[in-house]
Amino acid sequence: MTQVWARARTFEPAVQLLFVNQFSINLGFYMLMPYLAAHLSGQLGLAAWAVGLVLGVRNLSQQGMFLVGGALADRLGYKPMIVAGCALRTGGFAALAFAQTLPVLIAASAATGLAGALFNPAVRAYVAAEAGPPERRVEAFALFNVFYQTGILVGPLVGLALTGVDFKLTCAVAAVLFALLSVVQVLRLPGRRGETATGAEGAAQGQWRAVFGNRPFWLFSLAMTGSYVLSFQVYLALPLEMERLLGGGTATTVATGALFVVSGLVALVGQLRITDWCKRTWTREQCLVAGLALMGAAFLPPALGGPGYAGVAALLLCAAALAAANAVLYPFEMDTVVSLARERWVATHYGLYNTVCGIGITAGNLAMGALLDVGESRGLPAVPWLVLAALGVGCAWALRSLGRSGRLAAPVPVLGGDAA
C-alpha cells in the first residue's frame, strides 16, 4: 500500500480525497450488505420472498436511477451529488438498524440504492475531470480500483466482527461512517463541474440527444456489458458451484469467502503493475480486447475441474483470473467512456453506461441460473462455464471490430449545437 499511496499523492488533493472516499464507501457498504439477508430472515423473521423484495428494491433503485444521478451531476455539479448520496445512505443505513416492518425496510433499502445512483457517476466523472490527460486518467482509475477493491476486501471482515455483536451495531457504524464522509466532503472537496456544451446542445433536450444519440458509446456499452455479466459470477455461479462441490457447511463458507479474498488481493497487489505493463505494451483498444478475452478464459478451469478440492482449486483460479482481467479492463474502460463522450456530459454518460450494464447483469444472471439448472439436471456441468467462456470471446471480438473500425476513437458528432 506504500507504493499505492505514493502514486496517489501525485494527483490533486481532490482526487486523493475521492480515492479515500471510495474506499470508505465500499467499507461501509460491504460491512453491512452481505449480512442484511441473514438479519431479515433470521432476527426479523421475514419470508424468503420479502427478503428478495427488500434486496431487489435496493438494486432496482440504484440501477434505475444511475442515469438521473449522472444527469443531475452534470447539471448541478459533482460535489452536491456526492454529498447528497453519502447523506442519503447515512439515513438509509440508520433506518435499517431500527426498521421492523416491511414498508420501512423497503424505504430504507430504496434510499441506500438511490444514494449509490447519486454519487457513483459523479465520483467517476470528478476523477476523470481532475486527473489530467488520458495517460494520467488511466493511472487515476487504476488507483481508484485499488481503493475500491480494498474496501470490498476489508468491509466484510469488519462487518463480520460487528455483526457478531449485533447487526444494529453494524448499521450504526456504517451510518456514522457515511455521516463523516458527508461532513468531510462538504468541508474539503472543492466544487467541480464537468464540460457540458453551449447552444442547443447545452439545453436539457440537447443533453439527452447528445448522450442517447452517441452511437459509438452505445456500441461500446453493449459490448462491455458482457464483462459485467462475467465478473458478477463471483457472486452467483462460483458460490453456487462451491456449495455443490462441498455440500454446504463451514467448509463452503470458508471456501466462498476465499473467492472474495483472492479477488481483492489480486487487485490490491497487481492492479498498478498490470496497468503499467499494459500501457507500455498495448494500445487502449488492445487492452480492452485482452481483458475480455482473459475473462472468457477464466471460466475454462471450472469447465475442466474435477470433483472435490480439485474443483475448488479451479474456482479459486477462476476468481483470480477474473480479478486480473478486471485489472486490465477497468482503467481503460473508464477512460474510453470519457473519450467517447468527448469529455462532455461525462457523468450522464457514466450513468447511462451503468444502467445498460446493470440491465445486462440482470438478464445474464437469469440466463446463467437457468444454465446451471440445466447443466446439473442433464449431467452436463461444463456447459454453463463454456457458455461464459464463449461470451467473453464474443465480446472481445466485438470490441476488436469496434477498434478496427475506428469507432472507439472517432469523435462523436455534435447534435443541434456548436461544431467546436
DSSP per residue, 2-38: HHHHHHHTTS-HHHHHHHHHHHHHHHHHHHHGGGHHH
Does 216 have pLDDT greater than 50?
Answer: yes
Does 413 have pLDDT greater than 60?
Answer: no
Rounded Cα gap, residues 368 and 412, in angstroms: 35
Does 418 have pLDDT greater than 50?
Answer: no
pLDDT band of 202, cuts 50, 70, 90: low
Rounded Cα gap, residues 47 and 51, in angstroms: 6
Does 391 have pLDDT greater than 90?
Answer: yes
pLDDT number for residue 373: 87
Domains of the chain are 1-194 (1.20.1250.20), 210-406 (1.20.1250.20)
The string of DSSP letters for 362-383 reads: HHHHHHHHHHHHHHHHTT-THH
pLDDT number for residue 410: 47
Does 203 have pLDDT greater than 90?
Answer: no
Top pLDDT among 411 and 37 is at 37
Residue 71 near residue 348, CB atoms below 8 Å: yes
Query: Helix, strand or coil for residue 348?
Result: helix
Query: Helix, strand or coil for residue 415?
Result: coil
Does 311 have pLDDT greater than 60?
Answer: yes
Q: At 405, which helix (H) or strand (E)?
A: none
Residue 47's identity, in one-letter code, is A
Does 195 have pLDDT greater than 70?
Answer: no
Q: What is the maximum alpha-carbon separation in the chain?
A: 64
Rounded Cα gap, residues 294 and 392, in angstroms: 8
Residue 174 near residue 33, CB atoms below 8 Å: no
pLDDT digits (tens, 9 = 90+) for 44-61: 998 888 988 898 899 889
* Cβ-count burial 363-390 (b if 16+ within 10 Å, e if not): ebbeebeebbeebeeeeebebbbbebbe
Q: What percent of the chain has pLDDT over 90?
A: 67
* 249 DSSP 8-state letter: S
pLDDT band of 416, cuts 50, 70, 90: very low
pLDDT band of 365, cuts 50, 70, 90: confident
pLDDT number for residue 335: 96
Task: Return the minimum-mean-pLDDT range out of 168-177, 224-233, 359-368, 404-413.
Answer: 404-413
pLDDT digits (tens, 9 = 90+) for 261-306: 899 999 999 999 999 999 999 999 999 999 999 999 999 999 997 7
Q: Nearest 10 degrees: CA dihedral of 118, 148, 176, 168? A: 100
pLDDT band of 260, cuts 50, 70, 90: confident
Q: Is the dihedral of CA 343, 345, 349, 351 positive or negative?
A: positive
**Three-state SS letters, 185-211:** HHHHCCCCCCCCCCHHHHCHHHHHHHH
Cα R_g (the chain), whole angstroms: 21
Mean pLDDT, the chain, rounded, equals 90
* 42 DSSP 8-state letter: T
Top pLDDT among 388 and 52 is at 388
Task: Return the minimum-mean-pLDDT range out of 23-27, 137-141, 359-363.
Answer: 359-363
